[in-house]
């Protein structure tokens, strides 16, 4: 980093608070009381992020008489659900390319199911009056290198052959800069309807309120400690009590699963983001962005960025950090060296915004798996269902995962449960130090590919052949 660029980046961070912007809201609801007794229910949902909240709400929608309890170790939405970028995508497969590589025969169905899922989220936000700044503005994948533009064009052409390009548009350099003006943009692929922008914390809080209104008993600051058989059902012990349930749905994602054999399938990766001060009218005019799309560049080490309701710029991504042993570590929630890198990249993308300051800088863990999209299953003779491994797609795909968990618990054969994506599992991660070395080598190789025209080295090509590669 050049000295002048470093000074600009550092100065922009001088007042940044090390807390997630979305969660620092005076409208944040008070937590529900903790469980301090033995409770009984038909369905216990463990986890108060999107996965658990959608599962509880949809369970009541399917059967209003079903007795549903939800427990959350801290407060609903406090973790990844409340601190993410607020990109609510239709994709269930972490991008068209990843889905095409893994489930080519199901891709059209998966894309259609994802579109219906996003439509259902939009309908639920309206039906329950959830004030979460929902905007169906779409997203532009931007190319900042020539090979990326070629790859985006190939993606568009493949989608067109499959009849999936009705809402897609290839943008050349002038067209993409007419949408959002950055000297680094060479072109883009605009998905006009497949992504919505929203306030992630307000969505979580709105889902919690909807659950309460539908009769779900929500206990916060109530961690599930263990999961055991109890008669014809299951029991989950908590710090001050216990829940006896006929069935259990696990929406714990990055946190260690109560089904221990599931733990090997996920690892935590730390992601980081900055939020700017609100842009002035003149600053906003200098970059355009009148259609308020979400944006993401097309590098392997990619950035995601979007406008908030009050015209701040959220700028995140690039530097994913894996902790040795896969253990969650609070000290990794903040990483000043990553914030500095992100700030420098921000001003490289938008030099016309020099002088803008960041008010918030934060990070946190998300769960990922070796196929980079969610997996599903049951345990304890079908009494327990789980969904995990959403890899950054949790804002939208968790609702689909909730539907899958409820289908599995009911024993229904549905369009969802018949999917190979649902019936199969990713490969588990190897033990340490092999996982650490493999993930580190993969990160290094992806960075090299970004710097070398997208050319994948022997390691990445081997990962591709083993089904462990990532193609967004």
Q: What is the DSSP string of 13-82?
A: TTT-BSS-TTT--TTPPPPPPPP-SEEEEEEEEE--SHHHHHHHHHHHHH-TTS-EEEE-SSSTT-SHHH
Q: Which CATH superfamily is domain 38-86+201-263+372-423 in?
A: FAD/NAD(P)-binding domain (3.50.50.60)
pLDDT at 468 over 80: no
Residue 461's pLDDT is what?
Answer: 86
**171: CB partners within 8 A, 6+ apart:** 140, 179, 187, 188, 189, 190
Distance CA 411, CA 399 (A): 19
Parallel, antiparallel, or unpaired: how do β-strands 139-143 and 294-297 relate?
parallel
Question: Domain limits of the chain?
Answer: 1-29+267-277+312-368, 38-86+201-263+372-423, 437-465
Q: In whole numbers, what is the pLDDT of the chain averaged over residues? A: 95
Residues sharing a CB contact under 8 Å with residue 86, sequence separation 6 or more, in sequence order:
22, 197, 198, 199, 200, 306, 308, 314, 395
What is the per-residue pLDDT for 472?
A: 53
Query: Residues 450-458: what's their mean pLDDT?
Result: 90
Q: Are 287 and 395 in contact (CB under 8 A)?
A: no
What would the mean pLDDT of 149-161 be, rounded to a whole number?
Answer: 96
Please determine, for residue 438, whether its predicted confidence score (pLDDT) is greater than 70.
yes
Q: Report the 10 Å Cβ neighbour count for 35.
A: 23
pLDDT-derived band at 265 (thresholds 50, 70, 90) equals very high
Selected residue with higher pLDDT from 36 and 468 = 36
d(CA 120, CA 116): 6
Nearest 5°: CA angle at 391, between 386 and 395?
80
Q: Where are the alpha helices (DSSP H) in 253-360?
A: 281-287, 336-349
User: Greater confidence, 259 or 438?
Assistant: 259
What spatial distance separates the first Cα and last Cα of the chain, rounded to whole Å? 28
pLDDT at 471 over 70: no
**Tell me, what's the pLDDT at 466?**
76
pLDDT for position 470? 61
230 half-sphere exposure, CB direction, 13 A CA radius: 17
142 neighbors 177 (Cβ within 8 angstroms) = no
pTM of the predicted model, to two decimals?
0.96
Beta-sheet strands, E only, within 283-382: 294-297, 303-307, 313-317, 358-368, 375-379
Report the percent of the chain where pLDDT is more than 90: 87
Q: What is the pLDDT of residues 109-144, one digit of tens each?
A: 999 999 999 999 999 999 999 999 999 999 999 999
Residue 459: pLDDT over 90: no
pLDDT at 443 over 90: no
Structural tokens at position 246: 């006929």
**Dihedral angle, C-alpha 184, 392, 255, 208, nearest 10 °:** 120
What SS3 state is found at 249? strand
Sheet arrangement for strand 139-143: 168-171, 187-191, 139-143, 294-297, 303-307, 313-317, 267-276, 358-368
Q: What pLDDT band is residue 82 in, cutting at 50, 70 and 90? A: very high
d(CA 48, CA 351): 40
DSSP notation for 81-126? HHHS--EEES-SSSSHHHHHHH-TTTHHHHHHHHHHHHHHHHHHHH
């Amino acid at each position: 980093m050049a000295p002048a660029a470093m000074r600009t980046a550092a100065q922009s961070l001088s007042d940044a608070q090390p807390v997630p912007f979305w969660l620092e809201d005076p409208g944040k609801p008070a937590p529900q009381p903790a469980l301090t007794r033995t409770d009984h229910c038909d369905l216990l949902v463990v986890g108060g992020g999107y996965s658990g909240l959608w599962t509880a709400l949809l369970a009541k929608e399917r059967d209003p008489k079903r007795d549903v309890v939800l427990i959350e170790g801290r407060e609903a939405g406090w973790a990844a659900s409340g601190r993410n970028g607020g990109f609510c995508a239709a994709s269930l497969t972490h991008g068209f390319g990843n889905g095409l590589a893994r489930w080519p025969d199901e891709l059209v169905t998966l894309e259609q199911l994802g579109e219906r899922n996003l439509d259902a989220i939009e309908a639920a936000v309206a039906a329950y009056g959830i004030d979460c700044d929902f905007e169906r503005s779409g997203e532009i994948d931007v190319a900042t290198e020539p090979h990326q533009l070629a790859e985006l064009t190939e993606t568009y052409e493949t989608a067109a052959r499959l009849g999936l390009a009705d809402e897609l548009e290839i943008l050349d350099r002038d067209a993409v800069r007419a949408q959002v003006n950055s000297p680094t943009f060479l072109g883009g692929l605009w998905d006009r309807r497949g992504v919505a922008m929203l306030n992630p914390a307000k969505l979580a809080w709105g889902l919690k309120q909807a659950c309460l209104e539908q009769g779900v008993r929500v206990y916060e600051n109530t961690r599930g400690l263990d999961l055991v058989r109890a008669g014809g059902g299951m029991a989950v012990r908590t710090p001050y009590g216990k829940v006896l349930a006929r069935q259990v749905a696990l929406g714990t994602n990055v946190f260690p699963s109560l089904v221990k054999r599931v733990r090997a399938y996920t690892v935590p990766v730390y992601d980081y983001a900055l939020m700017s001060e609100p842009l002035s009218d003149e600053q906003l005019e200098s970059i355009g962005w009148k259609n308020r799309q979400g944006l993401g560049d097309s590098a392997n080490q990619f950035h995601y960025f979007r406008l908030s309701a009050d015209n701040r710029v959220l700028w995140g991504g690039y530097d994913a950090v894996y902790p040795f042993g896969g253990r969650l570590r609070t000290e990794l929630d903040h990483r000043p060296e990553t914030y500095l890198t992100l700030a420098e990249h921000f001003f490289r993308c938008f030099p016309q915004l020099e002088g803008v300051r960041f008010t918030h800088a934060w990070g946190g863990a998300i769960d990922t798996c070796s196929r980079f999209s969610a997996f599903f299953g049951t345990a304890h003779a079908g009494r327990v269902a789980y969904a995990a491994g959403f890899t950054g797609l949790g804002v939208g795909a968790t609702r689909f995962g909730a539907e899958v968990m409820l289908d599995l618990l009911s024993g229904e054969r549905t369009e969802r449960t018949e999917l190979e994506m649902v019936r199969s599992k990713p490969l588990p991660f190897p033990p340490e130090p092999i996982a650490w070395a493999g993930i580190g080598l993969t990160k290094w190789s992806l960075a090299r590919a970004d710097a070398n025209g997208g050319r994948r080295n022997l390691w990445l090509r081997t990962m591709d052949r083993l089904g462990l590669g990532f193609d967004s």
